[in-house]
Chains A and B, each alone.
Chain A
């Protein structure tokens, strides 16, 4: 059974379990999420086996992949779901690919090379977040001899940059239609996708408002849930449904006064990414630490903390055309820009959410966040008076750093923050 088939079975099992024995303490929207995940994997499998639709990597441009009539390949999303990727590092080594780059960007190469996951029929390689997220799908495309189109994003947010990326998107559509059987761009489909993505975004904004409440009504794991935009799924409408339901449940919990932690002592912003091979939130929760949010490259946009995701006229002072909206999104990732964009965004988020500390995950090989980690820490200390823990690790590799070691560091950091809070309140 391929990894893809295992994922279908895993999600189906989760759905069956909920149907057979609903647990009232769990979030009900989870069932919809598992269905969406299962349906995506089924669509990927079908496209892989039958070629009924072109597979296109979709981490950065899900609405456009939908508009092109393709099925999205969630390169990093799939890697995240491997949770523990030891076997895939061996595949990378034996095929002359780097094994010490950011693991969430390289595991997908191994998944495809080992025939566990379909390679895309068309690759869109963008510098949206970091070089690895650009060259990893490119490497897959070149390995399988598939057409690759590159989209270059910009360091700063400017009108010229918006035009530049919009022009490239137009060129990409022409290229894809000419080179890839089954691809046909439809603006109607793009608008349809954007409509449901915007519904989800509005829900995300509501969830973000909840994060600010003390005590925080979101559990760390829920805050950590990486958002999947509805157009990533074959049925965007259902994707938006999930967001509505999830948001409503979060509201309901908040209304009922459910602070997930009965005695919230501290609030931490978790930044970059984290270890997926164990649950770091248990140890934090046990000690009364809430984690209202995971801060990542597009977090502030996705949750509407800075700008809206799509349709926000503030940034460029005018209404944008659909492809311009996508260009705006592509240029909006704070990871890909000059450092102050990420530094400011992270410190603002910590301030906004009234955090007492930042856990900054130093993901091995992350060129976006590693080189400015100290700048974040110094600014947070200087402007907010809060400390930062640099928690070194890898997302999917327990052999790089053990759970015990990570927990010891987090415990020491909690002690420090408690002490600091105590001395502040005196």
Chain B
């Protein structure tokens, strides 16, 4: 075991990896080793296929700087803030090391970001995957076709075929990552959690920025330390759940927690939603065909706890209610990122259904970057007061 990893220092190395100054560390080393990096723009992209090609799946985060003047020359300012900040990073040459970028139609804003990305020709390969907004069997079949096509694109990028064994190995690695991250979530499901919400987001995003094998090794080393670690008792109540999309900056959660609460669970595509669902592949004894592997991946990605871009709103609320009960949560904070239309249109439904279930909920429209912290803290503070007065 790496003793340095199983310590506060080891934890900090992980939780600070998504900082703008650190996030390219592993990708650049990967490139130095003569290997390729694919930037992924969404949590519906099968990392297993990228990994199986020997390419580093690297989640693209935007610049955390305030302005996006270069991006605004291409996209109206009143559009998805994540996309604007990512485009700013691209146009200011911070993503030059990417060999490919992979988008989906998470929403139309992301497609339009991809359109511009393709047009400016700053990345050798620009790939887009058509991901259904529904999760029926028909949709799974369609997505499997898309994944098969994507597999071909990755083979082209890698310059070699991806064998079934490659794919199985990669699935096993990614499943291990999910298992370990879920173990960390369990450590938060205690009276005094092992990690704050901000720390947890630091870890879940770190897994998206480094080789999975190394992440797994580090978390395995860290677990014995975390199993004993506790956040200070006075900071462990009330327990809140934060729901948002494309939230990659732990500073948002840190600001909430500074008001005197803990984000004990999240509903984030950079957090729990990305790791929750495992892959189901036939019986272990019979040989598995490639098509079955790809179909299993398609099913896994469409059935993961959904983003509001999926149309199964009822399941999405049910999942949050389940987490609220399971993690003994006292209130839900929804943080829609400005101009995130799917979430905004779902807001009325989300709020009403949670309130019907007796769960206090507040909503605060956030920027992509951490800003207006004072205003947010005031709102969260009032929400906490309301929760505590009811307790």
Residue numbers of A with Cβ under 8 A of B are 95-98, 100-101, 125, 127, 130-132, 134-136, 138-139, 142-143, 148, 150, 152, 154-156, 160-161, 164, 167-168, 171, 336, 338-340, 343, 362, 364-365, 367-368, 370-375, 392
Chain A CB within 10 Å, residue with most, of B73, B114, B138, B313: B138
Q: How far is the CB of A177 from chain B (nearest CB, A)?
A: 17
Flag if A371 contacts B116 (CB, 8 Å). yes
Asked whether, in the complex, the Cβ of B349 is within 8 Å of the Cβ of A143, the reply is yes
| A296 CB to nearest chain B CB (Å) | 15
Q: Looking at the assembled complex, report how far the CB atom of B167 sits from the nearest CB atom of chain A, in whole angstroms.
A: 21
Q: Among the listed A131, A160, A371, which residue makes an inter-chain contact with B75, where contact means beta carbons less than 8 Å apart? A: A371
Q: Is B257 an interface residue (CB 8 A)?
A: no
Q: Quote the shortest CB–CB distance from A338 to chain B (angstroms).
A: 6
In angstroms, Cα B114 to Cα A130, docked, is 16
The residue that A155 contacts in the complex, of B105, B139, B347, with Cβ under 8 A, is: B105
**Any chain A CB within 8 A of the CB of B112?**
yes
Contact with A along B341-354 (1 / 0, CB 8 A): 11011111101000
Interface residues on B, range: 35 or more
Most A CB within 10 A of own CB, among B109, B111, B116, B145: B111
Q: Which residue of B lies closest to A364 (CB)?
A: B78
Contact A367 B116 (CB under 8 A): no
Which of B76, B105, B345 sits near A132, CB closer than 8 Å?
B345
Q: List 18 A-B contacts (CB under 8 A).
A: A97-B347, A100-B78, A101-B345, A131-B108, A139-B345, A150-B133, A155-B130, A164-B141, A168-B138, A171-B136, A339-B119, A364-B78, A365-B78, A365-B341, A367-B108, A367-B112, A371-B112, A373-B76
Min distance, Cβ B160 to any Cβ of chain A, angstroms = 26
Query: Are the CB atoms of A98 and B311 closer together than 8 Å?
Result: no
Tell me, in angstroms, the Cα distance from A134 to B345 when the chains sit together: 10
Distance in Å: Cβ of B132 to nearest Cβ of chain A: 5
- How many angstroms between the C-alpha atoms of A131 and B106 in the bound complex? 10
Contact B113–A371 (Cβ < 8 Å): yes
> Which chain A residues lie closer than 8 Å to B138 at the CB level?
164, 167-168, 171
A408 CA / B73 CA spacing, docked (Å): 22
With contact pairs A142-B313, A168-B138, A375-B115 given, residues A156 and B130 touching in the complex (Cβ less than 8 Å)? yes
**B128 within 8 A of partner (CB):** yes
Complex CA gap A169/B4 in Å reads 58
CB distance from B378 to the nearest CB of A (A): 20
Q: State the CA gap A139–B130 with chains docked (Å).
A: 23
Q: Are B111 and A338 in contact (CB under 8 A)?
A: yes
Alpha-carbon distance A404/B255, docked complex (angstroms): 44
Q: How far is the CB of A361 from chain B (nearest CB, A)?
A: 12
What's the minimum C-beta distance from B71 to chain A, rounded to whole angstroms? 10
Contact of A340 among B108, B109, B115 (CB under 8 A): B115
Q: Which residues of B contact A338 (CB under 8 A)?
A: 111, 114-115, 128
Other A-B contacts than A152-B139, A168-B138, A375-B119, 6 sampled, CB-CB below 8 A, are: A131-B108, A139-B346, A139-B348, A338-B111, A373-B76, A374-B74
Instruction: Return chain B residues, CB-CB under 8 Å to A134.
Output: 133, 311
CB-CB contacts below 8 Å: B67-112 with A: 73-76, 78-80, 83, 105, 107-109, 111-112
Contact across chains for A152 and B75 when beta carbons are under 8 A apart: no
**CA separation between A316 and B309, bound complex, in Å?**
30
Residue of A136, A148, A338, A340 with most chain B CB atoms under a 10 A cut-off: A338
**Interchain CB contact under 8 A, B115 and A150:** no
In the complex the two chains form, what is the Cα distance from A348 to B75 in whole Å? Answer: 22
Q: Which residues of chain A have C-beta atoms less than 8 A from B141's C-beta?
A: 164
**B142 is an interface residue with CB less than 8 A from chain A:** yes
In the complex formed, the residue of A with least CB distance to B84 is A371
Are A371 and B311 in contact, CB atoms less than 8 angstroms apart?
no
A171 to chain B, nearest CB (A): 7
Write the nearest CB–CB distance from B108 to chain A, whole angstroms.
Answer: 4
A339 with B111: CB separation less than 8 A: yes
**Contact partners of A131 in chain B: CB under 8 A:** 107-108, 309, 341-342
A367 vs B83: C-alpha distance in the bound complex, in angstroms? 12
Please tell me if the beta carbons of A339 and B115 are within 8 angstroms of each other in the complex.
yes
Which residues does chain B contribute within 8 Å of A365, judged by CB atoms? 78, 339, 341
List of 6 A-B pairs having minimum Cβ-Cβ separation, nearest first: A371-B112, A339-B115, A135-B345, A367-B108, A98-B344, A150-B311
Residue B19 interfacial (CB < 8 Å) = no
Known: A135-B345, A139-B345. A155 touches B128 (CB 8 A): yes
Q: Please name all residues of chain B whose beta carbon is closer than 8 Å to the beta carbon of A160 when the two chains form the complex.
A: 142, 145
Q: Which of B180-234 contact A (CB under 8 A)?
A: none
Closest to A369 in B: B112
**Cβ of B180 to closest chain A Cβ, rounded Å:** 33
Query: Bound complex: CA of A338 vs CA of B103, how far in Å?
Result: 11
Bound state CA distance, A143 and B83, in angstroms? 30
Q: Which residues of A contact B139 (CB under 8 A)?
A: 152, 164
Also in contact, A138 and B311, with CB within 8 A (given A367-B112, A372-B115): yes
B134 at the interface (CB under 8 A from A): yes
Question: Which chain A positions have C-beta within 8 A of B75?
Answer: 370-371
Q: How far is B351's CA from A137's CA once the two chains are assembled, in angstroms?
A: 18
Residues of A with C-beta under 8 A to B347: 96-98
Whether A139 and B349, one on each chain, are in contact in the complex, defined by CB atoms closer than 8 angstroms, is yes
Bound Cα distance A127, B139 (Å)? 14
